[in-house]
Every structure is written in C-alpha cells, then in structure tokens.
C-alpha cells in the first residue's frame, strides 16, 4: 500500500497528541536526534546498503515532519510552508532549468548570489558541523576571494611555525595558550590536506576505522589465546597491533 504525505501528517499528528514522550518535545530537545539521523543516513549511504538507506531516509523525514508539526502548533509555519520554500529555492537556484540562463553563468554566479544574502561572507557555515569539515569549508570559502596560501610550501612552513608556537606554550605551561596553539595546528593540517587534495574529515574517518579494525584484531587475537586486554602487556598488544597493520588495505 502506498501512503501519501497527508497520511503521514495525520498519523504523526495523532502520535504527537497522544504519546507522552512525543507531545512534550521541542525543537531544542529533538535537535540532537535530527543530527544523529543525518549521520546515520550518511553511514548508510557510505555502506551502499539499499534497505539501510531507505530506513534512514524515513527516520530523517520523521525529523522534518516533527519540527514542522511543532512549528505548526506554535502558529509559525507548517510542512506546506517548508515545501513552498523548497520549491521556490529549486526554481531560483536552477534558472537554466526553469528559465533561459546559461548553466556555466549560473555556476559562476552561485557563490556571489548566496553572499548577497549574508551579512558576513562566512555566515551560513553551521557551527554544529564536524569540526574538520567546518574548518575546510571556511578555508574553501576564504580561498574563493583570494585569502589563501600561494603554494604548498607556504602551508608546510606555517605548519612548522604552529608546532614551534605550541612548544613555546608548553614551556610556559599556559593551558589556555596550549589549547589555542594546538587548535592552530589542526587548522594548518586541514589546510595542508586541502593543498594535497585530501579531505581531512573523510580521511580521519577512514583512519578511525583502521584504528578500530586494528584494535579489534588485538582483542580477537588475545581472546583466541584465552587472554583479556587487561592481562596483556603493552608489548604484546603492540606486536599484535603491528600484525593488524598488514591487513589495512584488504
């Protein structure tokens, strides 16, 4: 049986009115779930699992419906206002589809058009984004107006400078400045990645996956010998870790 948007709205409105948990939720209280669902969808897309993608899309759609229902109850907007805004955005952003504009000219003017709607050039990059991804977006946008390093050697020099400044902060045992300088190193690393054509966020995610895979190998190997992680020495775990590295590219 195929359901319509109206069916979904009617079902959720009943849930909202009668479920003790759902009826007391606010935009703020479910914000973390909205973010979680977006991440879970991204993971499903990465796995290329059709059923998982479908399920996570439904979970994310629920968040859209949930927020729209809350806004409707507050007499601010409803799902149809959201749909109207989306349709207008699609038409506005695709004048080469719904008008007679040249596609290349549309692409060229895209950032300029968006910039006109912002108070500051860097507005609109969400603080809730993963830090490395947000850092790269900020750098990419600044680079579009020429605020960027000229070559990779300048980036390497900057990275070395940041390490030196961290060492200086460490000698002074200034915790606030240590954190500040460590943050500058991370920024420089993201910048270095940009010049290498490497995305820091996805690269770190892959590195995290390798780290988990390696340690799971350590854990599994010890269990096969009837030993626990707490019983194993650092030397024993490190030896197994080095063995696990052989399987990184499998």
pTM, to two decimals: 0.71
| CA–CA–CA angle 132, 138, 142 (5° rounding) | 145
DSSP count for the chain of H helices, then E strands: 11, 0
Could you tell me which of 205, 34, 150, 128 has the C-alpha nearest to residue 137?
128
Of 6, 8, 129, nearest to 58 by C-alpha is 8
pLDDT of residue 1: 83
- 144, 121 Cβ separation under 8 angstroms: no
Measured between alpha carbons, how far apart are the two ends of the chain, in Å?
43
| Inter-residue contact 188 to 214 (CB < 8 Å) | no
What pLDDT does residue 238 have?
A: 96
Q: What is the pLDDT of residue 109?
A: 67
pLDDT computed for residue 100 by the predictor: 73
| pLDDT < 70 positions in the chain | 106-113, 249-250
């Amino acid at each position: 049986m195929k359901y319509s948007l109206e069916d979904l709205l009617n079902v959720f409105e009943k849930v909202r009115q009668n479920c003790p948990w759902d009826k007391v939720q606010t935009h703020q209280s479910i914000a973390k779930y909205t973010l979680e669902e977006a991440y879970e969808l991204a993971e499903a897309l990465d796995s290329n699992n059709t059923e998982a993608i479908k399920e996570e899309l439904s979970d994310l759609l629920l968040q859209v419906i949930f927020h729209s229902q809350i806004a409707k109850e507050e007499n601010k907007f409803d799902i149809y206002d959201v749909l109207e805004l989306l349709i207008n955005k699609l038409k506005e952003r695709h004048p080469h589809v719904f008008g007679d504009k040249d596609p290349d000219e549309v692409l060229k003017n895209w950032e300029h058009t968006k910039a006109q709607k912002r108070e500051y050039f860097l507005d609109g990059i969400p603080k809730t984004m993963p830090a490395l991804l947000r850092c790269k977006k900020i750098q990419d946008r600044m680079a579009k107006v020429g605020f960027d390093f000229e070559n990779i050697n300048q980036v390497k020099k900057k990275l070395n400078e940041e390490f030196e400044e961290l060492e200086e902060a460490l000698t002074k045992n200034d915790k606030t400045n240590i954190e500040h300088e460590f943050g500058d190193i991370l920024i420089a690393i993201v910048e270095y990645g940009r010049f290498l054509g490497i995305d820091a966020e996805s690269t770190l995610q892959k590195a995290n996956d390798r780290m988990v895979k390696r340690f799971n190998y350590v854990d599994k190997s010890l269990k096969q010998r009837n030993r626990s992680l707490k019983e194993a020495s650092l030397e024993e775990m490190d030896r197994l870790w080095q063995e696990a590295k052989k399987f990184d590219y499998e």
